[in-house]
């Protein structure tokens, strides 16, 4: 794989589904998995097979249906977990077993109740077992960003020696900052990966609103896989948003000269499909796929967009699959936007009529939050009628 190629590991079906209210049934997972394959993601994490019969069935079904993408199954570092993941992936065209264990002292003491030495041994055994079932094994050090860095590197080195080809550094609780993430990836690269054929991955949560920024910092530092979800759904405040990472790389290729296999025109359709499946719409001002992402209400902005969209848009709506930008008519709108909307509605409005209609429009916009096309037609009819009288 070229050094500037970033693998997109989508965990919408696993970590994303853990978001409250975002559960999916088997058929819904299959529909979403097929859309992810069409989108061009490199890896689809289909579930956590040991967690439930439903998750096992979902991983098995996705593995059977999606033949052009790697399918990953999550498992803890226990013999039963690894075996269950392997069973679910038995018929996958390109299976990946993704095993994980916490490495922070707070997790070791309060959750695992294991010593550091025990976790190292658990890691060695689980990765070695996974390699008996699959050539592609990923190891994640849960809560890596709150772990002692020397110990973290010791665990990751153990995973590589046991056969892991992908090392994931999760910011499990959304705690770190871009500067810290960059340093951590650099350290793992220098102290663990070195010249070995191993990919560094990151999995960032958004508790401080930094998941995408941390992911981009990791890429700059040498990470070549990012774990993310459509619409940024996931535990608590969510995961790094796939569409934001991909378009940041696309729009800022001057500073971030990296490529993905994502078909960007499928981003909005994928977002819309997920929203329809889980009944969980993105907030209107969500970057890339939100309802207002390409909407303009301020008159100055609207005038600029009418003349050249690049005045106020750093990407075209079509590039992410949005049909077109939207000039939202409201109290901040100007004459240019009103004139354009009348033209779109089939009305050739004279300058004097437009001025009168605009005056009535601003008065109405002060009273109504949203102006509809029928409102505009009524305003124009009233204006023309008043002039005739």
The answer to whether residues 272 and 299 belong to one domain is no
pLDDT in tens, 123-160: 999 999 999 999 999 999 999 999 999 999 999 999 99
In this prediction, residues 37-54 reach a mean pLDDT of 97
Domain boundary among 245, 278, 311: 278
**Which pLDDT score, from 0 to 100, does residue 30 have?**
97
**Which pLDDT score, from 0 to 100, does residue 230 have?**
98
* Choice between 370 and 287, residue whose per-residue pLDDT is larger: 287
Nearest Cα to Cα of residue 218 among 191, 233, 240, 195: 240
The answer to whether residues 133 and 87 belong to one domain is yes
pLDDT in tens, 69-103: 999 999 999 999 999 999 999 999 999 999 999 99
Q: How confident is the model at residue 389 (pLDDT cuts 50, 70, 90)?
A: very low
Q: How confident is the model at residue 211 (pLDDT cuts 50, 70, 90)?
A: very high
Percentage of residues of the chain with pLDDT beyond 90: 68
Nearest Cα to Cα of residue 188 among 213, 212, 163, 224: 224
Tokens for 326?
Answer: 């939207």
**Which pLDDT score, from 0 to 100, does residue 336 have?**
83
d(CA 16, CA 30): 15
Residue with the two structure tokens 């910011």: 171
Number of helical H runs and strand E runs in the chain? 14, 10
> Counting Cβ atoms within 10 Å, is residue 254 exposed (0-12), middle (13-18) or buried (19+)?
exposed
Domain boundary among 278, 311, 336: 278
Answer whether residue 26 is part of any domain: yes
Answer whether residue 290 is part of any domain: no
In this prediction, residues 295-303 reach a mean pLDDT of 50
The answer to whether residues 332 and 274 belong to one domain is no
Domain boundary among 251, 278, 305: 278
pLDDT in tens, 339-349: 887 876 667 88
For every residue of 89-129, DSSP letters joined together read TTT-SSEEEEEEEE-SHHHIIIII---HHHHHHHHHHHHHH
The residue segments making up the domain with residue 66 are 7-278
CB atoms within 10 A of CB 319: 16
Answer whether residue 100 is part of any domain: yes
Answer whether residue 367 is part of any domain: yes
Query: Average pLDDT over the chain, rounded to whole?
Result: 90
What are the DSSP E strand ranges found in 195-321?
199-204, 225-228, 295-296
**Which pLDDT score, from 0 to 100, does residue 313 have?**
62
The answer to whether residues 187 and 254 belong to one domain is yes
The answer to whether residues 211 and 338 belong to one domain is no
The answer to whether residues 233 and 269 belong to one domain is yes
Answer whether residue 261 is part of any domain: yes
Tokens for 203?
Answer: 């999995």
Answer whether residue 299 is part of any domain: yes
- Whether 299 has a pLDDT exceeding 60, the answer reads no
The answer to whether residues 319 and 253 belong to one domain is no
pLDDT in tens, 307-340: 666 665 688 888 998 765 455 566 667 788 888 8
**Which pLDDT score, from 0 to 100, does residue 296 have?**
45
Q: How confident is the model at residue 295 (pLDDT cuts 50, 70, 90)?
A: low
Q: Residue 46: which CATH number? A: 3.20.20.70
In this prediction, residues 31-37 reach a mean pLDDT of 97
Report the domain count for the chain.
Answer: 2
Tokens for 285?
Answer: 């001002």
Q: How confident is the model at residue 47 (pLDDT cuts 50, 70, 90)?
A: very high
Range name among 84-93, 175-184, 285-294, 340-349 with the lowest pLDDT average? 340-349
* Choice between 177 and 284, residue whose per-residue pLDDT is larger: 177
The answer to whether residues 268 and 308 belong to one domain is no
The answer to whether residues 145 and 181 belong to one domain is yes
- Whether 302 has a pLDDT exceeding 70, the answer reads no
**Which pLDDT score, from 0 to 100, does residue 2 have?**
80
């Amino acid at each position: 794989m070229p050094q500037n190629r970033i693998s997109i590991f989508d965990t919408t079906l696993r970590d994303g589904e853990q978001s409250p209210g975002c559960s999916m049934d088997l058929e819904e997972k299959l529909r979403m998995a097929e859309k992810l394959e069409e989108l061009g993601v490199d890896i689809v994490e289909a579930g956590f097979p040991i967690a439930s019969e439903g998750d096992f069935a979902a991983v098995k079904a996705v593995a059977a249906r999606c033949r052009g993408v790697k399918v990953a199954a999550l498992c803890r570092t226990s013999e039963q977990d690894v075996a269950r993941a392997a069973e679910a992936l038995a018929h996958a065209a390109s299976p990946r077993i993704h095993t994980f264990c916490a490495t922070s002292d707070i997790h070791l003491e309060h959750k695992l109740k294991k010593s550091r030495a025990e976790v190292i041994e658990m890691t060695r055994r689980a990765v070695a077992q996974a390699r008996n079932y699959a050539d592609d094994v990923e190891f994640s050090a849960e809560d890596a960003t709150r772990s002692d860095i020397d110990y973290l590197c010791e665990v990751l080195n153990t995973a590589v020696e046991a056969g892991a080809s992908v090392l994931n550094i999760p910011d499990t609780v959304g705690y770190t900052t871009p500067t810290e993430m960059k340093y951590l990836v650099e350290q793992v690269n220098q102290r663990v990966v070195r010249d070995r054929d191993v990919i560094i991955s990151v999995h960032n949560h958004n508790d401080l609103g930094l998941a995408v920024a941390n992911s981009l910092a990791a890429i700059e530092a040498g990470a070549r896989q990012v774990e993310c979800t459509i619409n940024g759904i996931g535990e608590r405040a969510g995961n790094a948003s796939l569409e934001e990472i991909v378009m940041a790389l696309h729009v800022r290729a001057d500073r971030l000269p990296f490529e993905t296999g994502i078909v960007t025109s499928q981003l909005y359709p994928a977002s819309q499909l997920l929203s329809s499946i889980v009944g969980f719409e993105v907030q209107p001002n969500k970057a890339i796929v939100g309802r207002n992402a390409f909407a303009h209400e301020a008159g100055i902005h609207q005038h600029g967009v009418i003349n050249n969209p690049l005045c106020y848009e750093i990407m075209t709506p079509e590039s992410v699959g949005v049909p077109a930008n939207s000039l939202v008519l409201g109290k901040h709108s100007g004459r240019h936007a009103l004139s354009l909307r009348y033209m779109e509605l089939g009305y050739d409005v004279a300058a004097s009529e437009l001025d009168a209609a605009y005056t009535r429009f601003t008065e109405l916009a002060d009273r109504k939050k949203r102006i509809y096309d029928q409102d505009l037609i009524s305003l124009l009819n009233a204006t023309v009628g008043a002039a005739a009288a």
